[in-house]
Amino acid sequence: MIVTGFGKTSDLPGDPAELMELLDHQPLIGKMARSGAIVDAVLQPRFTWPHGTPRLQWDTIQRLEAERAEAAEAARLKAAQEVTARQLVGQEEVQRKAERDSLFAVQAVAPDVGAVPAVKAGMNVWASIVRCSGSGHPFLIWRLLEPPARIDLRPYRPGPESLDRVLVPVEAWLQAAGGSLVRAKLVTVNRPGKPLGFACPTCNDLVQGRWVSSIPNSKWSAIAERIQAEVDVPRPPEPGSRPGPPREQTPRPQMVRRPARIEEGHPEFIGPRPWALWMSEARDATEIAARQAAKDARAVRLREISENPRYIGSANGFRFQCSDCGGTFEDDNEGIHADAQCLARGSRNPAGSWR
C-alpha cells in the first residue's frame, strides 16, 4: 500500500498516522481516497482482491473512465442536436404561421357595394369576404365597429355582431347580393370568458382573432348604413306653377337634459339627494309636483335614448352600446356619444365605406 524504502539503506518511514492520511488515487476503488481507508477495507473479512496486476487494474480504470467521458460527450452532442432541431422546427412553425396569417389578409376581398348597395339599417355594418384557411371556402365576416385606419395586432372577437338586430341587415345584404356567398358562423371559443369567434360555415375551422385584426381597412366595405334623419329642404317652384299652402311641419320632441348633479342653491334642488325623484320623501304639494316633473323628464330622456337607432340596448334597459364607436354607457351618462360626437370628424368618408 505504502512504499517507504528498500533495504537497510532506506530512510526510516514517517509517522504511521501521517502515512494513513496521505491522499492519492487508489486502484482498488478507482478514485482518490486516504491510504488508511484502503487499509481498513483490505482488513475486512469480506474483502476480495480484484483480478489482475496493479498495472492491469490501472489500465482498466483508465479505459472505463475514457469510455464514460466519451459517452457523456456523445450525450451532450445529442442533446445539443435535439435542441437545435426543436429550434428549427419552432422557427419553421412560426414562419408557416406568419405566412398563413398574411395569406388570410391577402385573400380577403371587400364586398362589391357598387353592384349591391348597402342596405338601410339602424347601424353601420362593415364586412369583408375571406377564405377558410383549411378548405378555401369563401364566406362573409362583419364588424359593427368602424375598422381602424391602421392594423390592430390585438385579437378581434365579435361581440354585438351576434345580436339579431345586427344579423338582420347582414342577411338582407346577402339576399340582395344573391349567389352562393354565406355568412360566417358564430361559435364559442374554448378560452377564459368563453368569447365568440367567427368560423367557416362549411368545415367549422375557427377564424383567429389576429387574422381579422390584420385585414386592412381597404378590404372592408359598408354593407349596411344607418338611416339618417331626413331634412326637409325647400325646393324652388317650377316655372308656371302656383304656390301652394305652406307645408305643415311635424313637431319633433326635444331632448330634455338635466344637470349631472343638482346642488343646493339650484332652482331644481329638492332635499339632500342629488337626484330628487323619490315621491315618498316629498314634504308638500310643491315638492311632489317638482319630483313628478323630474321623473317625467328622465322618462322622456330614457325613451329618446332607447329609440335612438345608433344605440344597442342591453337586457336590463339601462345600459346602451354605441354602434359608431362601440362604447357603452348608462342611461344617465350619454356623454360624448350624444349627437355622434364620439367619432372624430373625417374618420370615415361620406358614403360610410372603406373602399
In a domain, 340, yes or no: no
In a domain, 40, yes or no: yes
Q: Do residues 221 and 126 share a domain?
A: yes
C-alpha cell at 7: 533495504
Q: Residue 270's pLDDT band (boundaries 50, 70, 90)?
A: very low
pLDDT at 183 over 80: yes
In a domain, 308, yes or no: no
Q: Which of the pair, 10 or 223, is modelled with greater confidence?
A: 223
pLDDT at 86 over 70: yes
The C-alpha atoms of residue 327 and residue 336 are separated, in whole angstroms, by 10
Q: What are phi and psi of 9, to 5 degrees?
A: -85, -5
Domains identified in the chain, total number: 2
**What pLDDT shows up at residue 230?**
45
What does the pLDDT average to over 160-176?
85
The C-alpha atoms of residue 149 and residue 216 are separated, in whole angstroms, by 8
In a domain, 131, yes or no: yes
Domain span holding position 45? 16-49
The C-alpha atoms of residue 322 and residue 326 are separated, in whole angstroms, by 5
Q: Residue 73's pLDDT band (boundaries 50, 70, 90)?
A: very high
Distances (CA, A) of 184 to 110, 129, 211: 15, 10, 14
User: CA nearest 191: which of 178, 209, 175?
Assistant: 209
The C-alpha atoms of residue 266 and residue 259 are separated, in whole angstroms, by 10
**What pLDDT shows up at residue 237?**
57
Q: Residue 78's pLDDT band (boundaries 50, 70, 90)?
A: very high
Q: Do residues 31 and 126 share a domain?
A: no
User: CA nearest 310: which of 282, 339, 283?
Assistant: 339
The C-alpha atoms of residue 349 and residue 152 are separated, in whole angstroms, by 20
- pTM for this structure? 0.42
Q: What are phi and psi of 236, to 5 degrees?
A: -70, 145
| Amino acid (1-letter code) at residue 149 | A
User: CA nearest 170: which of 140, 209, 205, 131?
Assistant: 140
In a domain, 266, yes or no: no
Distances (CA, A) of 223 to 200, 207, 261: 20, 21, 42
User: CA nearest 167: which of 223, 88, 100, 239?
Assistant: 223
In a domain, 126, yes or no: yes
Work out the percent of the chain whose per-residue pLDDT is above 70. 75
Q: Residue 280's pLDDT band (boundaries 50, 70, 90)?
A: low
pLDDT at 69 over 90: yes
The C-alpha atoms of residue 304 and residue 334 are separated, in whole angstroms, by 11
The C-alpha atoms of residue 118 and residue 98 are separated, in whole angstroms, by 33
In a domain, 80, yes or no: no
Q: Residue 257's pLDDT band (boundaries 50, 70, 90)?
A: very low
Q: Do residues 43 and 126 share a domain?
A: no
- As a whole number, the mean pLDDT across the chain is 75
What does the pLDDT average to over 96-115?
78
What does the pLDDT average to over 322-326?
80
Q: Residue 150's pLDDT band (boundaries 50, 70, 90)?
A: low
**What pLDDT shows up at residue 271?**
41
In a domain, 189, yes or no: yes
**What pLDDT shows up at residue 72?**
93
Cell 364588424 belongs to 143
pLDDT tens per residue, range 14-39: 777 888 888 888 777 778 899 898 88
Q: Which of 184, 209, 226 is the last residue of a domain?
A: 226
| Amino acid (1-letter code) at residue 224 | A
C-alpha cell at 5: 524504502
pLDDT tens per residue, range 191-213: 787 888 888 888 888 888 888 88
Q: Characterize 313-352 residue by residue with b for buried, 16 or more Cβ atoms within 10 angstroms of its Cβ, and e for exposed.
A: beeeeeebbbbbbeeebebeebeebeeeebeeeeebeeeb
Q: Do residues 131 and 38 share a domain?
A: no
Task: Find how far residue 10's CA is from the centre of its chain.
Answer: 87
Q: Which of 226, 253, 280 is the last residue of a domain?
A: 226
